[in-house]
């Protein structure tokens, strides 16, 4: 089966995670896809396929080598972002010849080259899009489809390979994908998440990440008699935001530049809340950004009275670079697999995070590979059928090359 055919099957399963849920996984609907993936892994002939009590899918492709070589893991996540609907996805394949793509004629939803100039990279390819009212879930069901197809290719080749461990995780989009990952049971020497973007991307640097929650406590009184009495929590919340550097935001940064991002704001006169994410590749700059939040909170408490601002900052994950650099052969092997499949590797920093970042700090070195998708977390998300098939070949080559490379090293 082709990777894109698998993907089109997976998108019929709604799997959005929920950051407000206390359950594991955060939504029951993720378990429906998990069970189906487990059945598919069993049908492919993998042993010990299971869905554990936390909704993680695990399976093993046993080694067929006559010697012991490294065990490699391939990991992707099942959940999708809450930024766009995951329900009733109407995916279709476009034979793209260039120009704008009408996603929904009735609702006049158009994916325009002027907004997404990299569409031109996909001329003469077949790309999968939605009807403009939902995402398609290439982040990261494309990764799952590519891993499944790679495993099928490896088995069909009959060539020697080491043990391959498969892991499909829930709740990655809400930062919990590695929370209950069974590192010891997975028992891989190293792994790759397949959760990146355009074909050729290879990533082993990601943001250091934190979340900030600000609660503003105000005083409400009739506006007609408010002078020197009212303390408007919403106004103070806006003041807090205005004291942050205006150019250090996602819409004004790129590459290695960090940012603070106001993800939500709500409130009234007595109470207001702000939620931020804080990101930077450089650890010192990351710590400075967090300290800036503390300084602003202290300044506003001094101005309006102690307890006006309640600030909580918590770290989410760190830059995996420090854990990957001592194991750069992992990156070299990924590069070779790409070049063997006529794909030019492009090492880029992740302007976000993956399960691999946290897994690397948990003892499993785990860089990130491309999926062939673009515009993730968006109604304008798309993925290339041709890229998905090539990436499945890259993954198969990665596993088969490892056996040969370790044989030559003996």
Catalytic residue among 172, 173, 355, 374: 172
User: Within 13 Å of residue 93, how many CA atoms lie on the same side as its CB?
Assistant: 11
Active site residue 172: yes
Catalytic residue among 40, 79, 139, 171: 79
Q: How far apart are CA 407 and CA 410, in angstroms?
A: 5
| Whole-angstrom distance, CA of residue 383 vs CA of residue 5 | 12
79 included as an active-site residue: yes
Pairing of strands 109-111, 101-104: antiparallel
Task: Map residue 350 onto helix, strand or coil.
Answer: strand
Order of all β-strands in the sheet with 259-267: 259-267, 271-280, 208-217, 309-317
Cis preceding-peptide flag for 25 (omega within 30 of 0): yes
Q: Could you give the maximum distance between any two Cα atoms of the chain, in Å?
A: 86
In 305-381, which ranges are continuous DSSP H helix?
321-324, 329-340, 355-361
CA–CA distance, 230 with 315 (Å, rounded to integer): 34
- 3-state secondary structure (DSSP) of residue 8: helix
User: From start to end of 101-242, where are the E strands?
Assistant: 101-104, 109-111, 126-129, 164-169, 190-194, 201-203, 208-217
- Phi-psi label, residue 190: left if phi above 0, alpha if psi -120 to 50, beta otherwise: beta
Alpha helices in 74-162 (DSSP H): 138-157
Say how far apart CA 47 and CA 41 lie, in whole Å. Answer: 8
Helices (H) and strands (E) in the chain, counts: 10, 18
Tokens of 111: 């994916």
Cβ-contact 180, 77 below 8 angstroms: no
Neighbours of 187 (CB within 10 A): 13
Name residue 59's beta-bridge partners: 166
CA angle 309, 312, 313 (to 5 degrees): 135
Question: Residues with catalytic annotation?
Answer: 79, 172
């Amino acid at each position: 089966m082709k990777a894109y055919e698998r993907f089109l099957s997976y998108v019929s399963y709604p799997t959005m995670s929920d950051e407000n849920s206390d359950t594991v996984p955060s939504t029951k609907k993720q378990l429906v896809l998990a069970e189906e993936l487990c059945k598919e892994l069993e049908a492919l002939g993998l042993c010990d396929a299971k869905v554990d009590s936390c909704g993680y899918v695990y399976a093993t492709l046993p080694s067929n080598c006559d010697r012991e070589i490294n065990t490699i893991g391939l990991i992707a996540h099942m959940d999708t972002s809450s930024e766009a609907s995951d329900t009733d996805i109407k995916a279709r394949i476009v034979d793209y010849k260039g120009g704008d793509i009408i996603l929904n004629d009735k609702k006049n939803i158009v994916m325009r080259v002027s907004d997404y100039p990299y569409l031109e990279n996909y001329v003469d390819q077949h790309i999968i899009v939605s009807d403009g009212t939902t995402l398609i879930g290439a982040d990261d069901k494309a990764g799952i489809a590519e891993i499944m197809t790679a495993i099928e290719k490896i088995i069909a080749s009959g060539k020697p390979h080491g043990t391959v461990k498969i892991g499909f995780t829930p709740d990655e989009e809400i930062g919990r994908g590695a929370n209950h990952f069974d590192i010891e049971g997975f028992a891989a020497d190293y792994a790759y998440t397949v959760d990146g973007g355009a074909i050729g991307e290879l990533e082993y640097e990601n943001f250091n990440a934190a979340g900030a929650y600000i609660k503003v406590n105000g005083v409400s009184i009739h506006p007609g008699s408010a002078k020197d009495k009212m303390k408007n929590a919403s106004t103070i919340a806006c003041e807090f935001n205005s004291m942050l550097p205006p150019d250090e935001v996602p819409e004004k940064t790129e590459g290695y530049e960090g940012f603070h991002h106001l993800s939500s704001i709500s409130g009234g006169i007595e109470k207001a809340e702000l939620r931020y994410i804080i990101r930077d590749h450089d650890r010192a700059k990351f710590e400075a950004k967090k300290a800036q939040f503390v300084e602003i909170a202290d300044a506003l408490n001094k101005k309006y009275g102690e307890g006006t601002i309640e600030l909580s900052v918590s770290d989410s994950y760190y830059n995996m670079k420090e854990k990957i650099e001592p194991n750069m052969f992992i990156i070299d092997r990924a590069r070779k697999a790409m070049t063997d499949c006529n794909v030019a590797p492009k090492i880029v920093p992740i302007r976000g995070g993956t399960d691999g970042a946290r897994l690397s700090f948990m003892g499993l070195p785990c860089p990130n590979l491309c999926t062939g998708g673009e515009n993730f977390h968006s109604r304008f998300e798309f993925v290339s059928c041709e890229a998905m098939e090539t990436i499945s070949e890259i993954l198969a080559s990665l596993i088969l090359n490892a056996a040969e490379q370790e044989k030559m090293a003996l």
